């Protein structure tokens, strides 16, 4: 009995370690520790909560998924710089507020190559030629819900620009995520992505201007 208790304590400690050992603990000034509340009214993204996207200038969509706000910060900045419409992917089943619980769900989703359902999927994104797609690195690649979004449309002829950031800023994980976007964006031209911290506006500006995306 005692042995079992000790064993489960050791296992719990190992799990906590493995979660932080791969650079998963949000660290540094760009990270927030708990999950932001799911978009409330008045959010920048609230105008596109319905299934029909309202088009401002009609050509660039900045779409993002963010669990704790860092990608959201980057996406808002990018939308401002490119003059695009901002749309937040909201999962039908919200991820828990707890980091480790979200970690476990996200890992299972990745291992099973799941496509979690999106609550607010736009009917059409036909009006956009350019799609800038942002996400955090989850388990060394993009969150599976990015695959859900990309697979929902005919993306032939679209220009896609991925952007991401993570706790470790490991470039191999970034490369994996770009590969994931390419695999899921059938027919689109997926450009080399941006891997920068949300606070690094110099890197973001440089990327946007190199790719002719700045206003």
Ligand X SMILES: Cc1cc2nc3c(=O)[nH]c(=O)nc-3n(C[C@H](O)[C@H](O)[C@H](O)COP(=O)(O)O)c2cc1C
Query: Which residues here bind ligand X, judged by CB under 6 A?
Result: 22-24, 26, 31, 66-72, 99, 102-103, 106, 136-140, 165-168, 170, 173
Nearer to ligand X, 133 or 158 (CB): 133
| Smallest separation, CB 29 to ligand X (Å) | 11
Length of the chain equals 215
Nearer to ligand X, 117 or 209 (CB): 117
Burial code (b: 16+ CB inside 10 Å, e: under 16) for 76-109 equals bbbbebbebbbbbbbbeeebeeebeebbebbeeb
| Smallest separation, CB 162 to ligand X (Å) | 14
Nearer to ligand X, 89 or 158 (CB): 89
Please name every residue paired with 162 in a beta bridge, in sequence order, or none if there are none. 133
| Smallest separation, CB 73 to ligand X (Å) | 8
| Smallest separation, CB 129 to ligand X (Å) | 25
Nearer to ligand X, 109 or 158 (CB): 109
- Contacts for 63 with CB less than 8 Å, ≥ 6 apart: 75, 87, 88, 89, 131, 132, 133, 134, 149
């Amino acid at each position: 009995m005692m042995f079992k208790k000790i064993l489960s304590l050791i296992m719990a400690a190992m799990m906590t370690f493995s979660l932080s050992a791969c650079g998963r603990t949000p660290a540094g000034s760009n990270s927030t520790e708990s999950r932001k509340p799911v978009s409330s009214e008045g959010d920048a993204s609230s105008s596109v909560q319905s299934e029909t996207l309202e088009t401002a200038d009609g050509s660039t969509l900045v779409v993002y998924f963010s669990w704790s706000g860092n990608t959201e910060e980057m996406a808002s900045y990018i939308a401002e710089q490119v003059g695009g419409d901002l749309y937040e992917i909201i999962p039908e089943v919200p991820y828990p507020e707890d980091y480790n619980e979200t970690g476990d769900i996200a890992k299972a989703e990745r291992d099973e190559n799941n496509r979690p359902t999106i609550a607010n999927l736009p009917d059409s994104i036909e009006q956009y030629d350019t799609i800038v797609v942002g996400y955090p690195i989850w388990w060394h690649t993009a969150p599976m819900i990015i695959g859900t979004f990309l697979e929902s449309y005919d993306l032939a002829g679209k220009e896609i620009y991925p952007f991401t950031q993570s706790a470790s800023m490991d470039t191999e994980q970034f490369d994996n995520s770009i590969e994931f976007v390419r695999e899921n964006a059938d027919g689109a031209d997926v450009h080399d992505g941006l891997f920068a911290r949300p606070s690094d506006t110099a890197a973001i500006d440089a990327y946007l201007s190199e790719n002719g995306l700045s206003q």
